[in-house]
């Protein structure tokens, strides 16, 4: 048994405990959480740290298989050009992809991440995930705007899904984004998922070009897909935002992770909330700045929804894979958000989104959530600072 203590313990499920103690067994399972009433007098095999102890972080959105793109695509190119550069440079050798993914997996572990919602278009990340100590939910992503190809696309995705599942890895099929998936393919994906009540992760309103495409078939995204032969021959403008269109299709009983949300306004948010009660709004601020030099309207999202989680996106659009760094960026934008709320976004909300909150996301007896020490805390305001760092204790 090991016994950990710090200036504060943040169980997430309850209020912070000053000088609290967390007892774990040799496998990391929590045996006890002790409220010392702020008076730490016992020292029996006690490991005391200056800082705060929190559960392991949940990275609700990543692309492990794109890790070899680190420093390849320049910043602020905009989403259409970013997509173009990914497609143009995607065919790297397997060993290059594997080695980069292996380093990224280790990087996330060192940054206190214990579970990941990860997008995959193929099986390039499978072997890394098999040997990793991190929990992965792999979202096998499919896309295609040509209706005639929808059946073959879903069949290819099912084959990839089966390979992950046959290796005892958790996975589900998911559509890429409203602008890259035909209505027929959406329906095939959601029909498949409905049978299994599978989780869905979908890129949402990452660029203003997405809404332009949906309102009136204009903008750079529309131009990008128009260049592909036949891809938009049977696609019609919807006269509404992409999220409003999406809400008409989404299955009602599945967890839905909406990723990015950079151009979701109040009307989009309220309409989505009215139409679906299992939405999780995943913010990836550093990636959004990297690609579009823009952030989601965090204040408006926060004002109307509670299920906010955090992601890093990939090393193609981020310089690090650190949930703590994402928190720091949010604090700069919204200094009024208290640490306890931010930590919920980084832990329990992501765990609930991935349906793993029975193990991860909070410090509770019987769980095995991992323990992170966050140092260099502003104790006067009980807040993370720019110099704060994270050290995984388990």
Q: Crossing angle, helix 79-88 and helix 208-216, to 10 degrees?
A: 100
pLDDT at 230 over 80: no
pLDDT at 195 over 80: no
Domains in the chain, CATH or no CATH each: 2-54+367-392 (2.30.40.10), 57-353 (3.20.20.140)
Section 5-34 average pLDDT: 97
Q: How far apart are CA 295 and CA 209, in angstroms?
A: 15
**What region does 138 belong to: left with phi over 0, alpha with psi -120 to 50, or beta?**
beta
pLDDT at 42: 66
Task: Please report the DSSP string for 307-366 in residue order.
Answer: -EEE----TTS-S---HHHHHHHHHHH-TTS-HHHHHHHHTHHHHHHTT-TTTSSS--TT
Name residues whose C-beta falls within 8 Å of residue 250's C-beta, 6 or more positions apart in sequence.
Answer: 190, 200, 256, 275, 276
End-to-end CA distance of the chain: 12
Q: How far apart are CA 337 and CA 232, in angstroms?
A: 43
The tokens of 284 are what? 């990836």
Task: Report H helices in the chain.
Answer: 79-88, 94-110, 126-131, 150-166, 183-196, 208-216, 220-226, 242-247, 266-275, 285-292, 298-304, 323-333, 339-346, 348-353
pLDDT digits (tens, 9 = 90+) for 300-336: 999 999 999 999 999 999 999 999 999 999 999 999 9
pLDDT at 50: 97
> Which uninterrupted H or E stretch holds 141?
strand 135-142
Give the sign of the dihedral formed by CA 131, CA 133, CA 137, CA 141.
negative
Q: How far apart are CA 143 and CA 240, in angstroms?
A: 21
pLDDT digits (tens, 9 = 90+) for 130-174: 999 999 999 999 999 989 999 999 999 999 999 999 999 999 999
- pTM value? 0.97
pLDDT digits (tens, 9 = 90+) for 336-383: 999 999 999 999 999 999 999 999 999 999 999 999 999 999 999 999
Q: Are 50 and 82 spatial neighbours (Cβ–Cβ below 8 Å)? A: no
Q: Which residues are bridge partners to 390 per DSSP?
A: 374
């Amino acid at each position: 048994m090991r016994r950990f203590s710090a200036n504060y313990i943040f169980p997430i499920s309850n209020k912070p405990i000053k000088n609290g103690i967390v007892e774990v067994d040799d496998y990391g399972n929590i045996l006890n959480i002790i409220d010392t009433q702020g008076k730490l007098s016992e020292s029996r095999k006690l490991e005391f740290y200056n800082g705060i102890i929190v559960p392991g972080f949940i990275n609700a959105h990543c692309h492990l298989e794109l890790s070899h793109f680190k420093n390849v695509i320049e910043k602020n190119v905009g989403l259409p050009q970013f997509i173009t550069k990914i497609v143009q440079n995607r065919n790297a050798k397997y060993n290059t992809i594997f080695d980069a993914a292996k380093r990224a997996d280790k990087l996330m572990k060192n940054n206190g991440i214990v579970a990941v919602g990860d997008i995959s278009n193929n099986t390039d990340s499978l072997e890394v995930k098999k040997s990793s100590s991190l929990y992965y939910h792999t979202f096998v992503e499919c896309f295609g705007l040509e209706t005639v190809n929808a059946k073959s696309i879903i069949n290819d995705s099912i084959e990839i899904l089966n390979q992950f599942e046959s290796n005892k890895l958790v996975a589900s099929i998911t559509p890429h984004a409203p602008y890259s998936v035909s209505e027929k393919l959406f329906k095939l994906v959601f029909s498949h998922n409905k049978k299994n009540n599978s989780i869905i992760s979908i890129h949402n309103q990452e660029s203003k070009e997405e809404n332009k495409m949906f309102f009136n078939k204009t903008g750079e995204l529309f131009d990008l897909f128009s260049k592909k032969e036949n891809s938009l021959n049977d696609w019609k403008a919807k006269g509404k935002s992409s999220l409003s269109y999406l809400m008409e299709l989404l299955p009602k009983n599945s967890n839905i992770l909406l990723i990015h949300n950079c151009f979701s306004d109040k009307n989009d948010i309220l309409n989505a909330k009215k139409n679906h009660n299992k939405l999780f709004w995943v913010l990836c601020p550093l990636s959004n700045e990297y690609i579009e030099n823009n952030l989601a309207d965090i204040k408006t999202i926060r004002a109307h929804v509670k299920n906010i989680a955090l992601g890093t996106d990939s090393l193609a659009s981020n310089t690090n894979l650190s949930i703590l760094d994402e928190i720091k960026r949010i604090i700069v934008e919204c200094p009024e958000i208290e640490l306890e709320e931010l930590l919920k976004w980084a832990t329990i909300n992501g765990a609930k989104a991935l349906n793993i909150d029975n193990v991860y996301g909070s410090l509770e007896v019987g769980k095995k959530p991992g323990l992170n020490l966050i140092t260099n805390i502003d104790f006067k305001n009980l807040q993370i600072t720019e110099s704060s760092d994270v050290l995984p204790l388990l």
